[in-house]
Amino acid sequence: MQVALSAGTRKEGEVIRARRWSWTRALGALLIVACAAACGSSDDDSTGGGEPEPGPTAAPTPGPTATPEPTASPAPAGPPALRLSEVAADLSSPLYAVSPPGDPRLFVVEQTGTIRVFVDGELRAEPFLDVTPLVRFGGERGLLGLAFHPSYATNGRFVINYTADPDGETVVAEYVVSEDDPNRAKPDEVARFLTIEQPFGNHNGGMVEFGPDGLLYVGMGDGGAAADPLGAGQDPQSKLGAMLRIDVDTHPVPPDGNLEGADPDVWAIGLRNPWRFSFDRATGDLYIADVGQDLFEEVHVQAAGSGAGNYGWNVMEGLHCFDPPEDCDTTGLLLPAVEYGRDLGCSVTGGYVYRGDAIPDLRGWYLYGDFCSNRVWAMRWEAGEVLEHHEITAEIDPDGVLGGISSFGQDADGEIYVLSLNGAIHRIDAD
């Protein structure tokens, strides 16, 4: 089941077109009730008042039966009222925020090459890690991703993804925390897992995250330019246009379950630029926001345990044929759960399924946005179906404080943050 969004109605222009969705189920219930009312019904026990006289009687005449009013199923309630609370301002192009498992601190990735850390709510002046001399910064390049090992509390290991200076390769490398200061990392890498040549300066991907299986997932763009000129998206032997999956303890030996017959590091193909993706902490479902080409942005949802696959680029852009533009073969492709067009934005920024404790009514909602339009949406997805989808921009950001939504972040408690390229970080709170 897929959902397509376009401008033109309430909720700042949200229209839902889907084969099966909660609104269509509500309409179906309305039609069923209306049909039942039109057909009518009789109540054989409605005889009027008084006891009947003894002896033979005629069959009772039914009394008047009121036609019931048609009633539709209740509309989906939507997410709870939310607001933004500023956590920080004047950061240098913040691109990501994350906490190690069980750790109260919040770490922020700055595109220029530093990782900053909040301790007890205060931003330390001294960076946790500074790799600025290694990083080629600008446009879609820079220090792009950070992932803490699931056992960080005991082993101090973490992984970063950055664009290397001067040639622009993608580097995925491991660092460790200092033994002397938990708020400082050792300056030198201890392992390099990947060095991937980038033919162009855009579509570098950048997200790294450990999955529920303990393996490291690396989102790679198709190499850049436009329309995938190298054909990387549908090339299983390329590390570009793919979701990579490695075991940081055994690499380069690949883990079981990667795409058969492909490059050993490739878990899935058919991605254009999966800038941000995340796993639902409760279910393990994978949400991938893939930045579109000319017309459509898309969000894929892959159920936990469903294995690798092909997300469609560049055969498809969203739910539509791209190359060829008509009559493309969609056999075996994993189509997005949601798409939206250029009337709503131009670069999707993936977020998280909320699993925190501060906003109980928000649990199970996936929040995401758009870098260009600063719109924010909330979606509930379950068992292959989008149950609800709402734009919440006007409610959550009535004053327009978001300025280029570069990323969403999540702390150890499951609370969600919105990062803006203008330097600000906001936490999503109950209103």
Residue 354 in any domain: the answer is yes
Residue 428 β-bridge partners: 84
* DSSP class per residue in 151-207: THHHH-EEEEEEEBTTT--EEEEEEEB-SS-TT-B-SS-SEEEEEE--SSSS-----
Q: Is residue 13 part of a domain?
A: yes
User: What pLDDT sits at residue 96?
Assistant: 98
Provide block-wise average pLDDT over 10 residues at a time, the chain (431 residues): 66 37 34 34 37 34 40 68 97 98 98 98 97 97 98 98 98 98 98 98 97 98 97 98 98 97 98 98 98 98 92 98 97 97 98 98 98 98 96 98 98 98 98 96
| pLDDT at residue number 315 | 98
pLDDT for 57 equals: 32
Please indicate, yes or no, if residue 391 is contained in any of the structural domains. yes
Q: What is the CA radius of gyration of the chain?
A: 26
pLDDT at 26: 34
Q: Do 317 and 293 meet the contact criterion of CB atoms below 8 Å apart?
A: yes
The confidence score (pLDDT) of residue 1 equals 61
The pLDDT score that the predictor gives to residue 7 is: 67
For residue 201, is it within any domain? no
Range of the domain at 347: 6-34+342-431
d(CA 266, CA 1): 26
- Please report whether residue 198 resides in a domain: no
Number of domains in the chain: 1
Amino acid identity of residue 307, one-letter, is: G
Residue 90 lies in a domain: no
Q: Is residue 359 one of the residues assigned to a domain? A: yes
pLDDT at position 76 is 63
In a domain, 428, yes or no: yes
pLDDT, residue 245, reads: 98
